[in-house]
Amino acid sequence: MTELQINTTQNVNINFTAASVGERILAYGVDLIIKIAYSVVVFQLLFNLFNIERFMFGWDNWSRAAFIIIFYLPVIFYTLVLESILEGQTFGKKLLKIRVVKIDGYQASFADHIMRWFFRIIDINMMGGIIALITVVVNNRNQRLGDITAGTAVISLKDKVTINHTILENLSEDYVPTYPSVIKLSDNDVRIIKETLQTAKRSLDHTTLLKLKRKVEEVIGVKAEENDTQMFINTVLKDYNYYTQSM
C-alpha cells in the first residue's frame, strides 16, 4: 500500500494510505453496475411500458436524442453529484471504504469535483480507462490526471481511525459549553486542529500553538476567554463535541 503524506495549512503532516488500483477499479465497477441497472430500467420504462416512440413520432433525430438524454442525466452526473454531497464518495467508494480528499487535508470543493469529473473523459472514457490505470500506477500518490489537476487524492479508510473517532472528546454529563460559534467548524477542521495541537505539544512548539489559537479565534469569531492557549483549544474541541453530539 502507498503511504500518502498530506501537509495541512498548519504545516502538519498527516499520513494516509492511498487507495490501491484494485480498490479504485472495484469501486468503479460497483458504480458502473448501478448506472447500467438504472439505464436498463429507464430503457424498459420508456420504450416498453410507456412506448415513447409513439410520443416522439415525427420528431427529428436531434430532438429525439435530446429528449432521451434528459432521462440519462443521472448516469452522466452520477459521480459528480454523489462525490459532492457524500464528501468525496460514491456508493462504490463507500462500499470499498475509500474517499476523495484534498492534498492539503481539507475536503474537496465542488470545483475540485467538477475538475475530476471533467477529466474522466480523458482518464476513463478514452481508451477504456488505460490512461487512468497507467497514471495511477506510475504516480507516487496513486493519482489519475483528474486528481493531479484538482489537487486531490483517493485515500483508504480501512484500518484507520475515522474522523469521528479522531475528534471525539470525553465530556461529563454536566458539561457546559463556552463557545457556541464552534459550530462554524467542520469535522475535518476539528480533526486538523486536534492533530496540530497534539503535534505542537509533543514538540513543545509554542509558536505553532499561538498561531493555531489565533486561527481558531478568527474562524469561530471569538476572543479566547482562557489565558492558556492549550486550555482554549481544548475547550473548543470539547464544545464542538458537545454541540455536534447534541444535534
> Mind listing the pLDDT tens digit of every residue in the chain (247 residues)?
565 655 555 455 556 788 889 999 999 999 999 999 999 998 888 777 777 777 777 788 888 888 888 989 999 999 999 999 998 999 999 999 999 988 876 678 999 999 999 999 999 988 888 999 999 989 888 899 999 999 999 988 875 444 444 566 677 778 888 999 998 888 888 888 888 888 888 888 888 889 999 999 999 999 988 888 889 999 999 888 888 876 5
Bridge partners of residue 13, in order along the sequence: 7
Q: Which of 133, 156, 179 is the last residue of a domain?
A: 156
Q: Are residues 33 and 88 in the same domain?
A: yes
Q: Are residues 20 and 36 in the same domain?
A: yes
Q: In terms of residue numbers, what domain contains 227?
A: 164-246
Contact criterion met (CB below 8 Å) for 38 and 46: no
Phi, psi of 7 (to 5 degrees): -100, 115
Q: Are residues 188 and 241 in the same domain?
A: yes
Number of domains comprising the chain: 2
Q: Are residues 168 and 61 in the same domain?
A: no
By C-alpha distance, which of 116, 89, 78, 96 is closest to 22? 96
Question: Residues, the chain, total?
Answer: 247
Q: Are residues 80 and 172 in the same domain?
A: no
